[in-house]
Amino acid sequence: MSSGYLEMTEGSPVTLASQVNGGGAYGANTVPLVVRSTAPALELPAGMVKWSHLEIIIMKGAGSAFAATSELKAYVTWDAAGADIAAGPTQTELTMVAGAANHMMIAATLDISPSRPPDGEKSKAYVWIATKGFLASGSDQPIVKRCRLYWHSLSKG
């Protein structure tokens, strides 16, 4: 049995557009997940795999603040257009917890066994994110610093 994760490209944070304190929209807020560029770099199996959880760390914009509660909704697709849903969406906002300075984090349990559709790309998925409770000021939108999708193979080969 092997295990690994897909993650956003190292060193390429993603700024979430159209996020407001009362609840942002998914819009074009996609975070592409790929095979890690450094070891361990394991390909995501096309089937016979279980996704355990999604780990997300978001930093507030430089001139913004956090509300009393910061929350997140997310779903995972096989394509950049969002047509082939693989997991989610979360039915309600998930409460984030404080991490390092100016960061909020969450781990969303998935516990699913998806199979990549014929039009899905090998070892690639997309996470769509909408936040709530990030008090954005002007262009100081939340920034995704880490996004990982953890998996483990169900086969013994």
| pLDDT tens readout for residues 44-67 | 888 889 999 999 999 987 777 777
Domain limits for position 33: 3-153
- Three-state SS string over 19-70 comes to CCCCCCCCCCCEEEEEECCCCCCCCCCCCCEEEEEEEEEEECCCCCEEEEEE
Dist. CA 44–CA 125, nearest whole Å: 10
Dist. CA 53–CA 64, nearest whole Å: 29
Instruction: Note the pLDDT of residue 64.
Output: 75
SS3 82: coil
pLDDT (tens digit per residue) in 94-149: 999 998 888 999 999 998 999 888 888 889 999 999 888 887 666 678 889 999 99
Angle at 35 between CA 126 and CA 43, to 5 degrees: 110
When divided into structural domains, the chain yields a total of 1
CB atoms within 10 A of CB 101: 7
Closest CA to 110 of 50, 47, 34: 50
Query: The CATH number of the domain where 96 resides is what?
Result: 2.60.120
User: Which two three-digit tokens encode residue 105?
Assistant: 């984090």
How many residues are listed for the chain in this entry?
157
User: Which two three-digit tokens encode residue 74?
Assistant: 């997310």
Closest CA to 125 of 152, 86, 97, 67: 86
- Asked if pLDDT for residue 11 goes beyond 80, the answer is yes
pLDDT (tens digit per residue) in 66-99: 778 889 999 999 999 888 999 988 888 899 999 8
Instruction: Note the pLDDT of residue 69.
Output: 85
Dist. CA 95–CA 56, nearest whole Å: 12
Average the pLDDT over each of 11-15, 27-31, 64-68, 109-113 and give the range with the smallest value: 64-68
Mean pLDDT of the 5-16 span: 89
Q: How far is CA 148 from CA 6, 65, 138, in A?
A: 6, 25, 28
Instruction: Note the pLDDT of residue 45.
Output: 85
pTM of the model: 0.89
Dist. CA 125–CA 6, nearest whole Å: 8
